[in-house]
């Protein structure tokens, strides 16, 4: 293994000639001659982690919209002030008495802001009730969402992002990323298409207006009735008979109610009937616990950063605030610790603005300079914390949101960075391990362009490839 690593390093040096710092600066400057920058603006900051020396800077003190680069701040603060061993806890319990397989009382599901609960977890909660020997619940099912405030979106989120799964409704009681997968498939010529909802919940309506045709004349559209805030999936248009299937992921309105409906459906499958309804309520202190699921933050951070999961970022921000300041959790409580991170990085929080934990908000404003300072602070801190932080970032050409970027270049496998994209905005910030053995922190923010982000991302990739060749 040792010789294989040495051989790989040698081959990298041959395939990608190393460059000096002066050559690096010259090559980076040349990138700004591209037509993209007739209107667009790019900020770049590069720091040597060994001594903190700034190797390159351009527009790095200008306030920019960071998009999902905000997640770097959220996860760094959470690792410092929440801790990777912190556990998101979800619990199901009941009040009342059980006699002759009947629960004379109510069941409660208590949300603990776990962003990674799945349908299998819901089924596990239902099994916990069935395992008590209960065949009937003569009462209600309640979602306890008291751990968090009632604001279901972040400050500055765009209404027209609904019903995208990238814009999830926020609640401390989640399931399947608070989204549903919609599968559509042909069912015979001039017949209504087939529709499958995953996970299927009895509260979801289907309005199917789409037909399978030999030659489609109208584009197929799969959406949710977000205007009226209903969990009604609408399919309209035409689908080709020769197409196997089409998929869409839609966010779910009132995901806590979706969770409770799935649990009632699972109970029904297990032979447990529920005579009452589903509603919201705070769990009484006398409730008896049935089943608990705990998930450490160390198991959440990878999906959060590698896949840029917005729900995970927002609930992590709120969990951080609640852990330190008590419930109900709010974005403001969590953002106070992002301010603490900025202070620890040697900057003044008053010079920047953070409105959410995911970067969906266009109110967020930061600089490439501050971003590299945060990256440097994490590098200079506790080694275990840094390794967890760096290990959660996408790796160029290998995984996450960088899986298909920088392949076959000097940057492949050497760049560990968080992406960020929204209309007119692209960002990439993280770490580079150069061919010459140096450790760098960098931040690139591009904005004020129209159309596709591919040219902005090409600029980012080219910056990383130059940095990776530094001697």
Distance CA 138, CA 457 (A): 57
How many angstroms separate the first and last alpha carbons of the chain? 24
Q: At what angle do helices 383-391 and 368-380 cross, to 10 degrees?
A: 130
Measured between alpha carbons, how far is 246 from 184 in angstroms, rounded to an integer? 5
**64 to 69, 282, 365, 385: CA distances (angstroms):** 11, 41, 5, 27
Euclidean distance between CA atoms 287 and 293, whole angstroms:
17
Which tokens belong to 4? 């294989």
Could you give the domains of the chain? 10-85+298-468 (3.40.710.10), 86-296 (3.50.80.20)
Helix (H, G, I), strand (E, B) or coil at 7: helix
Report whether 431 contacts 439 (CB < 8 A).
yes
Helix 383-391 to helix 297-306 angle, to the nearest 10 degrees? 40
For position 13, what pLDDT does the model report? 56
pTM: predicted TM-score of the whole model, two decimal places: 0.94
Per-residue model confidence as pLDDT tens for the chain (471 residues): 554 444 455 555 557 999 999 999 999 999 999 999 999 999 999 999 999 999 999 999 999 999 999 999 999 999 999 999 999 999 999 999 999 999 999 999 999 999 999 999 999 999 999 999 999 999 999 999 999 999 999 999 999 999 999 999 999 999 999 999 999 999 988 899 999 999 999 999 999 999 999 999 899 999 999 999 999 999 999 999 999 999 999 999 999 999 999 999 999 999 999 999 999 999 999 999 999 999 999 999 999 999 999 999 999 999 999 999 999 999 999 999 999 999 999 999 999 999 999 999 999 999 999 999 999 999 999 999 999 999 999 999 999 999 999 999 999 999 999 999 999 999 999 999 999 999 999 999 999 999 999 999 999 999 999 999 999
Asked if 41 and 446 touch (Cβ cutoff 8 Å), the reply is: yes
Alpha-carbon gap, residue 307 to 252, rounded angstroms: 19
Please name which of 440, 345, 395 lies closest in space to residue 77, comparing C-alpha atoms: 345
Q: Is 430 helix (H, G, I), strand (E, B) or coil?
A: strand
Measured over the CA atoms of residue 78, residue 81, residue 87 and residue 93, the dihedral's sign is negative
**Sign of the four-CA dihedral 456, 461, 462, 464:** positive
pLDDT at 318: 98
**Which residues have CB under 8 Å from 205's CB, separation 6+?**
230, 231, 232, 233
Whole-angstrom Cα distance, residue 259 to residue 178? 9
């Amino acid at each position: 293994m040792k010789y294989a690593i040495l051989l790989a390093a040698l081959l990298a040096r041959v395939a990608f000639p190393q460059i000096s710092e002066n050559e690096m600066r010259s090559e980076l400057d040349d990138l700004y001659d591209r037509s993209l920058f007739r209107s667009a603006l790019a900020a770049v900051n590069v720091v040597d982690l060994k001594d903190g020396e700034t190797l390159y800077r351009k527009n790095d003190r200008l306030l920019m919209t960071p998009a999902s680069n905000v997640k770097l701040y959220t996860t760094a603060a959470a690792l410092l002030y929440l801790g990777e061993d912190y556990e998101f806890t979800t619990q199901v319990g009941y009040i009342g008495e059980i006699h002759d397989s009947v629960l004379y009382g109510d069941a409660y599901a208590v949300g603990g802001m776990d962003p990674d609960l799945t349908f299998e977890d819901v089924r596990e909660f239902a099994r916990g009730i069935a395992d008590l020997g209960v065949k009937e619940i003569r009462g209600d099912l309640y979602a306890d969402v008291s751990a968090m405030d009632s604001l279901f979106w972040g400050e500055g989120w765009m209404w027209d992002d609904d019903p995208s799964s990238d814009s999830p409704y926020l609640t401390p009681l989640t399931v399947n990323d608070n989204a549903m997968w919609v599968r559509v498939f042909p069912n015979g010529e001039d017949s209504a298409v087939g529709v499958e909802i995953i996970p299927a919940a009895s509260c979801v309506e289907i309005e199917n207006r789409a037909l399978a045709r030999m030659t489609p004349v109208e584009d197929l559209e799969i959406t949710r009735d977000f205007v009226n805030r209903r969990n009604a999936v609408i399919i309209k248009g035409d689908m080709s008979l020769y197409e196997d299937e089409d998929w869409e992921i839609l966010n779910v309105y009132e995901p806590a109610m979706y969770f409770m409906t799935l649990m009632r459906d699972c109970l029904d499958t297990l032979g447990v009937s529920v005579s009452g309804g589903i509603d919201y309520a705070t769990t009484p202190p006398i409730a008896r616990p049935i089943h608990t699921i705990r998930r450490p933050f160390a198991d959440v951070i990878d999906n959060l950063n590698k896949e840029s999961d917005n729900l995970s970022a927002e609930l992590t921000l709120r969990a951080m605030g609640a852990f330190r300041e008590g419930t109900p959790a709010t974005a403001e409580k969590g953002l106070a610790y992002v301010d603490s991170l900025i202070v620890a990085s040697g900057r003044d929080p008053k010079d920047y603005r953070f409105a959410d934990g995911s970067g969906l908000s266009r109110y967020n404003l930061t600089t490439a300079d501050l971003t590299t300072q945060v990256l440097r602070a994490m590098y200079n801190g506790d080694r275990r914390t840094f390794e967890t932080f760096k290990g959660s970032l996408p790796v160029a050409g290998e995984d996450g949101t960088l899986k298909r970027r920088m392949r076959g270049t000097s940057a492949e496998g050497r760049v560990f960075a968080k992406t960020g994209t929204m209309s007119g905005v692209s960002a990439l910030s993280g770490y580079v391990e150069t061919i010459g053995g140096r450790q760098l922190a960098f931040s690139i923010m591009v904005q004020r362009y129209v159309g596709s982000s591919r040219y902005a991302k090409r600029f980012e990739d080219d910056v990383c490839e130059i940095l990776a060749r530094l001697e």
